């Protein structure tokens, strides 16, 4: 089982008028080996690249909707 951080986090972010994007399902799907520094939890350069890779399609869709 996984902890559901998505629902409360999305609700809080959207309640304050911000767009919510998540990469958590993508990270959980591939495990993202090498994405975090051991014992630290911060993203490595590989992790930052993965965030960009996962987030880009959602951002492109969202941004194209703004200009229609």
Give pLDDT tens digits for 16-58: 999 899 888 888 888 888 898 988 889 999 999 999 999 999 8
pLDDT of residue 11: 96
Distance, in Å, from the CA atom of 13 to the CA atom of 24, rounded to the nearest integer, reads: 15
Distance, in Å, from the CA atom of 62 to the CA atom of 8, rounded to the nearest integer, reads: 21
| pLDDT at residue 65 tops 90 | no
**Position of tokens 């999305």?**
10
pLDDT of residue 46: 94
pLDDT of residue 30: 82
Spatial contact of 47 and 36, defined as CB atoms under 8 Å apart: yes
| pLDDT at residue 10 tops 90 | yes
Spatial contact of 35 and 43, defined as CB atoms under 8 Å apart: yes
């Amino acid at each position: 089982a996984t902890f559901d951080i998505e629902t409360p986090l999305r609700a809080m972010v959207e309640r304050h008028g911000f767009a919510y994007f998540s990469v958590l399902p993508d990270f959980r799907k591939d495990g993202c080996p090498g994405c975090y520094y051991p014992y630290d939890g911060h993203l490595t350069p590989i992790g930052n690249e993965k965030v960009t890779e996962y987030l880009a399609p959602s951002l492109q869709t969202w941004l194209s909707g703004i200009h229609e």
